[in-house]
Homo-oligomer: A and B are copies of this chain.
């Protein structure tokens, strides 16, 4: 790393896409115009060696996925992503070109959503790289697509097939970043390295103006469904045969598929619940937009938790998601 300030210039955007940006990078703080919409904000932190390694992700992927995970959280609130800020703690072992690729990965995804990089902090560390991205977005006032909104009688839905990301990670761990991979396997690898947040689907659900409970799949279906069940004080029963699986994933043994679907995570699809009537309307609206919502279960009253129904057999589906400290 040559001069910090010189390098920051190379990663700072020349202009802004959102006209609401008054001052981006370059002052004490960023300044953006207020809005009558409710504001959404969250952050996500990735650590080298914990959340990614150079065996499975290029620096470009690290940047891309870090922003994608944040955009997905905005999607899970039904919102429009607008701005992001980047905190990066850099070890001396990282080359400037690789660091620039991290920012390139974020910038390419930001461009697709007309988002602006408006701030951040770059520091050095004697440990592994730590990348923390803060994202801001907005949603129509009063729209609360919270995980506590599930009610008995609701249907449970998914916005797309899940498990592919974990399948891709498995391939990468076995064969390294460079493969070789078949064309089908490349789809799984891509799902892991370059996930697509479901902003469009979240926007349609927000626009429905109905009660919606919603989570994004960052930690596996089991964990996310349990979060909705706990927050809502309800039972979610998932139908094993209704879970959408990509054609590629179906090439693997069913047990393996299930493991990836329920406990894999990082798919960044949306899981939620709505009343059957409201869902029918939302599903139709999604179809018009080229999106698919799939019913995968139902909500009932009882001791909060998730059940998995396979044929006539029903068993508890425990959280068992990834616990960062376990």
Number of chain A interface residues as a range: 35 or more
Partner of A122, one of B26, B88, B324: B324
CA of A23 to CA of B214, assembled, Å: 14
Interface residues of A in 23-48 (CB under 8 A from B): 23, 26-47
Specify the chain B residue showing the minimal Cβ separation from A25: B42
List CB contacts (< 8 Å) of A86-140 with chain B.
Answer: 87-91, 118-128, 130, 132, 134-139
Instruction: Report the Cα distance A76→B155, complex, angstroms.
Output: 50
Residues of B within 8 A of A29 (CB): 40-42, 73-74, 76-77, 79, 135, 137
Q: Copies per complex?
A: 2
Shortest A324–chain B CB gap in Å is 5
If the complex has contacts A87-B87, A323-B5, A325-B3, are A39 and B39 also in contact, measured as CB distance less than 8 A?
yes
Complex Cα distance, B27 from A121, in Å, reads: 26
Type the 1/0 row for A3-20, where 1 means its CB is closer than 8 Å to any CB of B.
111010000000000000
Given contacts A3-B325, A123-B324, A134-B134, contact A39 B34 (CB under 8 A): yes
| Given A28-B214, A49-B126, 13 further pairs, Cβ under 8 A | A23-B144, A26-B231, A29-B77, A34-B36, A35-B35, A45-B88, A45-B121, A45-B132, A47-B123, A47-B124, A121-B132, A122-B324, A125-B130
